[in-house]
Amino acid sequence: MGASDEAASSVRPARAAGALESEGLEGLIAAVLAGGRSARFGSDKSRARFEGETLLERVRAVLSAVVDRVVTIGGAASEVAEPEPGAGPLQAVIAALREARARGAGGALVVACDLPLLDVATVRQLAAPLAAGVVGRVPRVDGRLQVLAAHWSVGVLEALEQAWDAGERSLTRLCATLALDVRDDWDARALSDVDTPEALARLVERGPTAEVTVWRWPVGEAASPGFAILAKASSDRVAREEPLEIVVDGAPLAVLLRTPAGVDDDLSLAAGFLLAEGVIDRMADLDGLGPCLDPAAEHRENRVLVTLAPGVRVPDAARRSFATGASCGLCGKTTLASIVQRLPERAAATAPRLADVQAMGAAVRAVQAGFAATGAVHAAALFEGATLMSMAEDVGRHNAVDKVFGRALRRGELPLRGKVLWVSGRVSFELVQKALVAGVDGLVAVGAPTSLAIELAERGGLHLAGFVRDGRANVYAGALDGGRG
């Protein structure tokens, strides 16, 4: 979820064009298994919350983006009668298929509610038409059949009912007797179920967003023209930013800053980076690509291990400190330990005045000749109070900031006490690091900061404000004089 004031508490996927219709035998329904209280979870999983909504709400929303009719089976919200409530997955699938038959549908997607990372792409993969003679599609993840994230044909209902009447209660065991489409090419992250509150908490911690405290302006009635006092803080979500170390044949090659979104995404990022840098030309150039599985390794969740095929080596050009691009200013760092550099000593930073901060955007726009002509460059500017001291433009955000600070360095003006850096885009870790090294008191951005940027700003005593535009300002670290009470 975005950090803007209008952001809702949850984001529901919009129905995509071409969503499957549930009318007729070619259609599908979807059934979410709510289940009720779980012994291992200690409470009703369906009511557990993840990123602002319950697990039941979340899974239903994803299914609704693909399938027209979604029902809940089990628990307090159950809409469909089960043969024997609480008796396990087999009777839940039977209940779902009976509902599909009653609605004239050809099958049912039956999905447990404890899949918080389920996504539309995976549901579409499940919902694809079954081949002739096949009665179901069941993913196999890490060698285990995921029977509660499966596509079942109404044609298998009679066989399931007969097995139930004969005393069979194991859906997994029954799968061995059925003509199923069993595949291994699934996104394991999207099909990761949670059995305990701790497992759910780990997903929250490693997800693509992080919850932070933000002070918003304006709130309530203005205390004086152009000012409002923030009476309380509110929560918001920002993009999570963490380093990913790529280790090739046992040696660190590069560290990329990325949004963590699971092992599969990390492996794809590493493979794409190696391809772009000329290390590999095809997947056959790799003998191994996987996460670090050593439980004793530090930062193992942020490390990818690569083994090159015989005869393939890292080109000398790729052994350099990778050149800074327009989006990442730390790609040249080759160890995780080098990310957080020793920060220079600095006096306590003075909070920028809210009125000054609100005037900065207009002052920069008035002199942004490059942006006015092209719309394709970023800007960075140095302010003392409301006075624009220096401004630079560049296609790269980091380049624009380096130009401003480099100019001050050449003039012998560092450290820049009492000054504020304004940037035209978002704020990532590297920009906060640059601001702290240059010694400015504050960093003001038109866009949002990342989780790592906020963490470093708090650690370094930097006043950090984002979404400073259209009369608004969100304070993520430190304060604004006149804008936080």
| Active-site amino acid positions | 328
**C-beta atoms surrounding 390 within 10 Å:** 19
DSSP 285: G
- Cα angle 107, 110, 115 (rounded to 5 degrees) comes to 150
The region, left, alpha or beta by phi > 0 then psi within -120 to 50, assigned to residue 425 is beta
The sign of the torsion formed by the CA atoms of 132, 138, 141, 144 equals negative
Structure tokens at 322: 């990778």
Residue 275 and residue 465: Cα distance in Å, rounded? 37
Cis amide prior to 13 (ω within 30 degrees): no
**What length does the chain have?**
485
Q: Give backbone dihedrals phi and psi of 78, rounded to 5 degrees, phi first.
A: -60, 135
Burial of 169 (0-12, 13-18, 19+ CB in 10 A): middle
**C-beta atoms surrounding 332 within 10 Å:** 14
Instruction: Say which residue the tokens 């259209």 belong to.
Output: 470
Residue 390 and residue 364: Cα distance in Å, rounded? 9
Within 13 A of 141's CA, how many CA atoms are on the CB side? 17
Q: What is the DSSP string of 127-163?
A: HSPPPTT--EEEEEETTEE-TTEEEEEGGGHHHHHHH
Q: Give backbone dihedrals phi and psi of 362, rounded to 5 degrees, phi first.
A: -65, -40
By C-alpha distance, which of 40, 28, 35, 279 is closest to 130?
28
Residue 262 and residue 256: Cα distance in Å, rounded? 15
By C-alpha distance, which of 428, 226, 409 is closest to 324?
428
C-beta separation of 91 from 74 below 8 A: no
As a whole number of Å, the end-to-end CA separation of the chain is 26
